[in-house]
Amino acid sequence: MFSYCSDPSALDGIAWLSCYLTTGKHMAFYTSFGTVLLLLAITAPVALMFGFAGAMAARGRIAPLRWIGKAYIAIVRGVPDIAFFLFFVIALDQIIEWSRHKILCPDWTGPVRQGNDFVVCDAAKMPLSSSPQWMHETYGFSLAILTFAIVFGAFAANVMFGAMRAVPRAQIETAEAYGLTHRQAFWRILVPQMWVYALPGLSNLWMVLIKATPLLFLLGVEDIVYWARELGGSKTSKFTEYPHQDWRMWYFFALLVFYLMFTKVSEVFLDKLMKRLTRGQATTGGEAQRKAAA
């Protein structure tokens, strides 16, 4: 990157390090931090939506819908989530390919599962085998996002279901006394008030989501863990201009520090948000704020 980097073997100390840390591969490594942030930025709202829908379904008045909601919340408890990650990535992929297979190749008669193979017609491949590399990467990443959203949506549904029940019953009764319909009471009274009850659980979930991002590596995305392993491994001068020992320990140390800082910043920010949301609420926290101000 710098002009003096043309002959790395002649450099040493800080100059060597500055060249080493700005190679093309390191740039890819830094970009992969962006991948993690992108995953968080997309997954958090989608999971929140899944969670909201799940919680709504779980407290719905139609029995089958309620069962679906409750099952969705219950299913991810008791089973290690990493198993879900590994499961959903293949399962979603196969479900998508299988449905495309059914639609696009109706005259295909052979079974889809042949021994240990999963065979669909060429037109049903997702993405098509002729499509460029970036399509494959994007598809893999979207599957990862969907997997994260499904799993974390269930956790969020659990939190929000609890929060909806925590809103004082008297609030809904008052709404009904004013003649609001069930739907109006839900959207105008329950939903605005539930967030303060949901926030402790949701902020816990956010921390958990941050700490789950390295699992992207297991889903086959080239994320920070992938690059840390790739770049850290010992290199000889035959393959690279920057030979070094096994430095994976230091790369993972850097990741450790990155995550510690990230969780710390989130914690401070969420504390501020909690303070803001409790203002004027009929909870112990809100009461304490009122007394402190008076």
Q: Note whether 123 and 18 are within 8 A (CB).
A: no
Longest dimension (CA), the chain: 83
Is the Cβ of residue 37 or residue 170 nearer to other proteins in the bound state?
Answer: 37
Cα 5 versus chain centre, distance:
38
User: H helices of the chain, where?
Assistant: 13-20, 24-58, 63-75, 81-104, 133-166, 169-177, 182-184, 191-212, 224-232, 248-278, 284-293
Is the Cβ of residue 33 or residue 118 nearer to other proteins in the bound state?
Answer: 118
Contact positions with other proteins (CB under 8 A) in 45-64: none
Rule CB under 8 A: say whether 213 interacts with other proteins: yes
Q: Of 25-33, 42-50, 130-138, 206-214, which part binds other proteins (CB under 8 A)? A: 206-214
Of the candidates 206, 228, 231, 278, which one interacts with other proteins according to CB under 8 A? 228
Rule CB under 8 A: say whether 118 interacts with other proteins: yes
Rounded CA separation 34/227 (Å)? 13
Per-residue x/- mask for other proteins, residues 133 to 162, rule CB under 8 A? ----------------------x-------
Of the candidates 5, 42, 53, 86, which one interacts with other proteins according to CB under 8 A? 86
Q: Of 5-13, 181-189, 248-256, 269-277, which part binds other proteins (CB under 8 A)? A: 248-256
Rounded CA separation 85/144 (Å)? 8
Is the Cβ of residue 116 or residue 130 nearer to other proteins in the bound state?
Answer: 116
Please state the closest distance from residue 264 (CB atom) to other proteins, in A: 6
Rule CB under 8 A: say whether 87 interacts with other proteins: yes
Query: For residue 228, with 0-12 CB atoms within 10 Å meaning exposed, 13-18 middle and 19 or more buried, which class applies?
Result: buried
Rule CB under 8 A: say whether 37 interacts with other proteins: no
Is the Cβ of residue 263 or residue 289 nearer to other proteins in the bound state?
Answer: 263
**Helix, strand, or coil (residue 238):** coil
Rule CB under 8 A: say whether 252 interacts with other proteins: yes
Rounded CA separation 93/88 (Å)? 8
Radius of gyration of the chain (CA): 25
Q: Of 6-14, 19-27, 124-132, 244-252, which part binds other proteins (CB under 8 A)? A: 244-252
Please state the closest distance from residue 15 (CB atom) to other proteins, in A: 25
Of the candidates 20, 23, 81, 191, which one interacts with other proteins according to CB under 8 A? 81
Query: For residue 24, with 0-12 CB atoms within 10 Å meaning exposed, 13-18 middle and 19 or more buried, which class applies?
Result: exposed
Is the Cβ of residue 73 or residue 189 nearer to other proteins in the bound state?
Answer: 73
Please state the closest distance from residue 106 (CB atom) to other proteins, in A: 23
Q: Return the axis-axis angle of helices 24-58 and 191-212, rounded to nearest 10°.
A: 140
Rounded CA separation 269/170 (Å)? 32
160: nearest Cα among 271, 53, 79, 280: 53
Residue numbers at the binding site for other proteins (CB under 8 A): 77-83, 86-87, 90-91, 94, 113, 115-118, 155, 204-205, 208, 210-215, 217-218, 225, 228-229, 232, 246, 248-249, 252-253, 255-256, 259-260, 263-264
